[in-house]
Amino acid sequence: MENTKKALEKIEVDKIALAGGVSANVFIRKEFYDLQKEGIKIYMPDLKLCTDNAAMIASAGYYNFINGKNSNLDLNAVPNLKL
């Protein structure tokens, strides 16, 4: 939150959007909502929509596996990989 507050001051904005798996963290959600007391508008999806990509990754791995595509243990993440 310290870095968030510094960024808000530096770039002079009054709105924040929080999304993805991190926005499912109840402590983080509360801390961001507390910023509203300082006049910052907070946008974030309902908690039920804040998920990570574990199921999607598992599904992609499953379909690769049943189609005979295997990887060894030195496989690394590729953030923009096309599935």
How confident is the model over 26-73, as pLDDT tens digits?
Answer: 999 999 999 999 999 999 988 877 777 777 788 888 999 999 998 888
31 lies in some domain: yes
Return the pLDDT at 83. Answer: 66
The CA distance from 18 to 29, in Å, is 9
Structural domain that includes position 36: 2-49
What does the pLDDT average to over 5-17?
A: 91
Return the pLDDT at 65. Answer: 93
56 lies in some domain: no
81 lies in some domain: no
Answer whether 0.95 is exceeded by the pTM.
Answer: no
Q: Give the CA distances from residue 11 to residues 6, 20, 33, 49, 64, in Å, rounded to whole numbers and listed in that order.
A: 9, 23, 20, 29, 44
Beta strands per DSSP E along the chain: 15-17, 41-43
62 lies in some domain: no
6 lies in some domain: yes
54 lies in some domain: no
Tally the domains of the chain.
1
Return the pLDDT at 82. Answer: 77
